[in-house]
Amino acid sequence: DAGVIQSPRHEVTEMGQEVTLRCKPISGHNSLFWYRQTMMRGLELLIYFNNNVPIDDSGMPEDRFSAKMPNASFSTLKIQPSEPRDSAVYFCASSLANTEAFFGQGTRLTVV
Amino acid sequence: GQSLEQPSEVTAVEGAIVQINCTYQTSGFYGLSWYQQHDGGAPTFLSYNGLDGLEETGRFSSFLSRSDSYGYLLLQELQMKDSASYFCAAGAGSYQLTFGKGTKLSVIP
């Protein structure tokens, strides 16, 4: 397996634009996590899914953020409208049990 | 809620031993895991403790005490390439995985 695949690797967008981040988890994994990492706040859990169902989205900062998992092999994190304070590295991770998570390479988002 | 505390920075000498502590407050605690992240990279899994005691994986060992809500990562025979950030993460319930803010380890000659 190629591991967790995220796209794009880098995204630069203007404030107010919609941003969509994509994630393909490892085949067979039943949990998927979206994290945001900044220097100030560290690695924050935004939302996680189990068997494609959102279990806890309490970490999603605002209504501008939304996440979907339409099937076991694909998830999206959308920000609409984007703001400069959303600039961060966004990681997707998948796991079979919550003992070990495998991370994608991340998407570095810059909102100008 | 879930919270984990770990030191923000640690500096150690090449060849030495360093211990990174982690305390947690987690409802429905399941187990404690450790991740390594080099600058510009993604976190990668190092070890997991589901039971009290010590788990050893090469130069790295991890310890858990559930009664103290405490764990640590022990790195022996430090190498320059061990300079990275180290995160503890608490598994809770069946699915949740919450990370501490990370400890930046600097290994000096």
pLDDT single digits (tens) A19-29: 999 999 999 99
Q: Which residues contact B71 (CB under 8 A, 6 or more apart)?
A: B21, B22, B24, B32, B49, B62, B63, B64, B65, B88
What pLDDT is recorded for position B1?
A: 63
Cα separation, A21 vs A91, in Å, equals: 10
For B69-79, the pLDDT digits (tens) are 999 999 999 99
- Provide mean pLDDT across the span B77-85: 97
What pLDDT is recorded for position A23?
A: 98
Q: Give the pLDDT band of residue A106 (cuts 50, 70, 90).
A: very high
Chain A hits for B33, Cβ within 8 Å: 99-101
What pairing do the DSSP bridges indicate for beta strands B53-57 and B103-108? Answer: unpaired
Q: Indicate whether A11 pLDDT > 70.
A: yes
Compare all CA atoms of chain B with the CA of A5 and give the residue at the minimum distance: B42
- In the stretch 55-94 of chain A, residues with CB closer than 8 A to chain B read 55-56, 91, 93
Nearest to A43 among B31, B48, B99 (CB): B99
Is B66 exposed, middle or buried (CB count within 10 Å of its CB: 0-12, 13-18, 19+)? middle
Q: Do A99 and B44 make contact, defined as CB atoms within 8 angstroms?
A: no
For A61-80, the pLDDT digits (tens) are 889 999 999 999 999 999 99
Q: Give the pLDDT band of residue A1 (cuts 50, 70, 90).
A: low
Q: Do B48 and A100 make contact, defined as CB atoms within 8 angstroms?
A: yes
Q: What is the DSSP letter of A9?
A: S
Two tokens, residue B28: 């429905």
Chain B hits for A53, Cβ within 8 Å: none
Under a CB-based contact definition with an 8 Å cutoff, are residues B88 and B4 in contact? yes
Nearest to A98 among B43, B87, B97 (CB): B97
Cα separation, A66 vs A63, in Å, equals: 7
Rounded (to 5) percent helix, strand, coil in chain B: 5, 65, 35
Compare all CA atoms of chain A with the CA of B5 and give the residue at the minimum distance: A42
